[in-house]
Amino acid sequence: EIVKDPKFILGGATRTDICQGDLGDCWLLAAIASLTLNEKTLGRVVPLDQNFGPDYAGIFHFQFWQHNEWLDVVIDDQLPTFNGRLVFLHSADHNEFWSALLEKAYAKLNGSYEALKGGSTIEAMEDFTGGVGEMYEVKKAPDNFYEILEKALKRCSMVGCSIDTSSAAESEAKTPCGLIKGHAYSVTGIEKVNYQSQEVQLIRIRNPWGQVEWNGPWSDNSLEWCSVSPSEQARLAQETQDDGEFWMKFEDFKVHFDKVEICNLTPDALEDNTAHKWEVTIHQGSWVRGSTAGGCRNFLETFWTNPQIKLHLTEKDDGQEDCTFIAALMQKDRRKLKRLGAEMLAIGYSIYESPGRDEHLGKDFFRYHPSKAKSKTYINLREVSNRFKLPPGDYILVPTTFEPHQEADFCLRIFSEKKAITEDLDENIAIELPEPPSPTPGETEEEKQFRALFEQISGQDMEISSEELKYVLNTILKKIKNIKFKNLSLISCRNIISLMDTSGNGKLDYNEFKVFWEKMKTWINIFLQFDFDKSGSMSSYELRSALKAAGYQLNNHLLQLIVLRYSGDQLQIEFDDFLNCLIRLENASGVFQALSVKNKEFIDLNIGQ
């Protein structure tokens, strides 16, 4: 319907096939331009065995990397148009459609075209390669920055660059020298040229608009090219057309550009000329509000509740004393959730020397131990990655959001030159309940008061219902001075009877009540220990420690479920909820232990059980 003779690819997929339309996704287009420089990588993302030929079925498919797996995305051939022309990404050849269809497939992967507005080039580069990104601030780049870029392009790494803006008003503002602020460019070449008996370092940049170019030294029509031989110009593929691509002196590049993003197809691409096979380990996890979303080290009270990953660095790099690794932390699906109001969160991580215990580290460890390494900064990018060198040993990596209580799923990738072993310090589930206290000879003064109250409420049968139990417990709790609990609920009292009733008549006799009260006193003391502000409620982030004190060691998943069930909007747990939680855990663990006759870790249930 758009053209009579459509072609999927015409004369090869090249960077001139990428011209930006009305969508603010220059970051994506810069990555696609870099993708065309590597035929093998391009062929994976854009399978070349499809066209508008005789067997055409009206669909195309593309492949993208997402959180450690390659996904096949299938789309139809309908594209947004206005007056018969493509609205978004298009090729300079009006009957070539691979680039427009690729943009549509990427939009489908992320939920919509709208979700592609604004982003970081490195994000798309990683989705095209499964590689790992590194970002450089040009003004702070190392002395061998030219060599780093040269080596990266030779290794087929994808390279993008941009100019910072100081305000939203400067976004896509054109400078007097023809460059665009806040706009994503791709680096497509780097070369040295002989000019007036001197060697000059040049870099080739492409504007995904397909027009608007640098107009300073070494631009398309600059006088410098008059002193360069035609053969040199041909080697550099120098052309004077306004196609968005231009050369500039590397020194000028460092003056005018602020950021460079490099996506290495293998993490060692910038190290040396020997291609090592790096080891990669992946961890998938979540920050859940109220249990594992503790925020950064500034928030010590909750920082320790974040997921913790143990890293064993066992072998030194060849000829080195240290172990090299890259830690890349990625927040998942934030672009897809954009339409629901989700934004990129500021994320980062800290690395600590392990104290040698295979358990989730508590608040005091982080209070008294500084980190050995950490991500450069907390930033609202999809992925934060840094390269480290540390002595062999065991370390604890803590991935976090900057602010506490922020929820997201994450993927942590560890690239190491030698074999590195990682494990989640997500504690094994274990139950170690304290032994019940041995009965004391004779009745204490407290027990005499209980018996009198119990007889008064129960009558001659010495058994109480859930309503009567509620009255008894609330009467007792009100007399304890240092407790600020609200009244226990009827549901709690029914749960107590369910836990303690051995006769099955739905009531509690005096001996059952006495046994429960001993448990209750222990639980009250634990609750008061973790009610730090003496408000009568406990922070949900302290639940892990409180339950452990009561004999229950739980993993992150169970803690997250319990917090969802028992905490309020302000992430506080009242004593009534804490009591119900412990009753449920004791009931469940009692049933499990009764049924786990053959194997202490598994049970077999029939439908009746």
| DSSP code for 434 | P
Contact between 373 and 351 under an 8 Å Cβ cutoff? The reply is yes
Q: Is 296 a catalytic residue?
A: no
Contact between 569 and 537 under an 8 Å Cβ cutoff? The reply is no
Q: How far is CA 454 from the centre of its chain?
A: 55
CA-wise closest residue to 193 among 249, 244, 155? 249
Q: Is 221 a catalytic residue?
A: no
Report d(CA 589, CA 551) in Å as an integer. 11
Report d(CA 395, CA 374) in Å as an integer. 12
Report d(CA 588, CA 371) in Å as an integer. 39
Report d(CA 187, CA 158) in Å as an integer. 8
Per the residue annotation, which of 19, 90, 110, 183 is the catalytic one?
Answer: 183
505: helix, strand or coil: coil
Per the residue annotation, which of 38, 207, 306, 386 is the catalytic one?
Answer: 207
Contact between 160 and 129 under an 8 Å Cβ cutoff? The reply is no
129: helix, strand or coil: helix
CA-wise closest residue to 257 among 167, 184, 158, 149? 184
Helix (H), strand (E) at residue 524: helix 510-530
* CB-based contacts of 480, cutoff 8 Å, min separation 6: 524
Amino acid sitting at position 295: G
Structure tokens at 147: 């060599």
Q: State the burial class of residue 432 (Cβ atoms within 10 Å of its Cβ: 0-12, 13-18, 19+).
A: exposed
Helix (H), strand (E) at residue 262: strand 259-264
DSSP code per residue over 467-479: HHHHHHHHHHHHT
Structure tokens at 165: 């803006």
Report d(CA 118, CA 380) in Å as an integer. 13
CA-wise closest residue to 438 among 513, 524, 517, 515? 515
Q: Is 26 a catalytic residue?
A: yes
Helix (H), strand (E) at residue 19: none
Report d(CA 281, CA 161) in Å as an integer. 29
Report d(CA 287, CA 300) in Å as an integer. 16
CA angle 336/341/346 to nearest 5° reads 80
Per the residue annotation, which of 19, 26, 323, 493 is the catalytic one?
Answer: 26
The radius of gyration of the chain's CA atoms, rounded to the nearest angstrom, is 32
The half-sphere exposure of 211 on its side-chain side, counting CA atoms within 13 A, is 4
Contact between 462 and 509 under an 8 Å Cβ cutoff? The reply is yes
| Enzyme catalytic residues | 26, 183, 207
